[in-house]
């Protein structure tokens, strides 16, 4: 029996847009800082720490976008919802919780 992944695709497209927006905003903050180098050492340290945090958030958002794009490719290729280890169907509840999941519950543990 074929499974319908229309809602999953809609959710993935929403996530794709959300992650892309997040990436765009973070990159804008990194490349166009809202504050110039401050004259106070403490302020400079805070700015540097915030920039490092932005870079970490950027990497996380880029990785999440990659997961989403891969899931959309799996839908297009007809293999979405299959565990990459055993080939069995990934549980519907798991796909609802993690729409870009590639492993069934057994292999995710």
- Please report which confidence band the pLDDT of residue 3 belongs to, taking 50, 70 and 90 as the band edges: confident
Contacts 24+ apart (CB under 8 A), 81-87: 81/3, 81/5, 81/8, 83/107
Q: Find out whether 8 and 80 touch, Cβ atoms under 8 Å.
A: yes
Model confidence pLDDT, tens digit, residues 87-97: 999 999 999 99
Residue 36 has pLDDT above 70, yes or no: no
For residues 96, 99, 101, 104, the Cα torsion angle rounded to the nearest 10 degrees is 20
- How far apart (Å, rounded) are the C-alpha atoms in residues 21 and 76? 23
- Please report which confidence band the pLDDT of residue 71 belongs to, taking 50, 70 and 90 as the band edges: very high
For residues 26, 31, 32, 33, the Cα torsion angle rounded to the nearest 10 degrees is 80
Q: What is the pLDDT of residue 46?
A: 72
Residue 37 has pLDDT above 70, yes or no: no
Q: What is the pLDDT of residue 88?
A: 96
In percent, how much of the chain has pLDDT > 90?
A: 73
Least confident of 27-31, 60-64, 77-81, 88-92: 27-31
Top pLDDT among 86 and 3 is at: 86
């Amino acid at each position: 029996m074929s499974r319908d992944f229309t809602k999953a695709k809609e959710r993935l497209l929403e996530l794709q847009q959300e992650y892309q927006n997040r990436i765009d905003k973070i990159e804008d903050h990194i490349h166009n800082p809202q504050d110039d180098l401050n004259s106070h050492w403490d302020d400079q340290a805070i700015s540097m720490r915030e920039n490092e945090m932005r870079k970490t958030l950027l990497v996380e958002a880029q990785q999440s976008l990659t997961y989403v794009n891969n899931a959309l490719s799996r839908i297009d290729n007809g293999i979405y919802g299959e565990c990459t280890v055993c080939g069995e169907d990934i549980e519907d509840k798991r796909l609802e919780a993690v729409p870009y999941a590639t492993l069934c519950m057994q292999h995710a543990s």
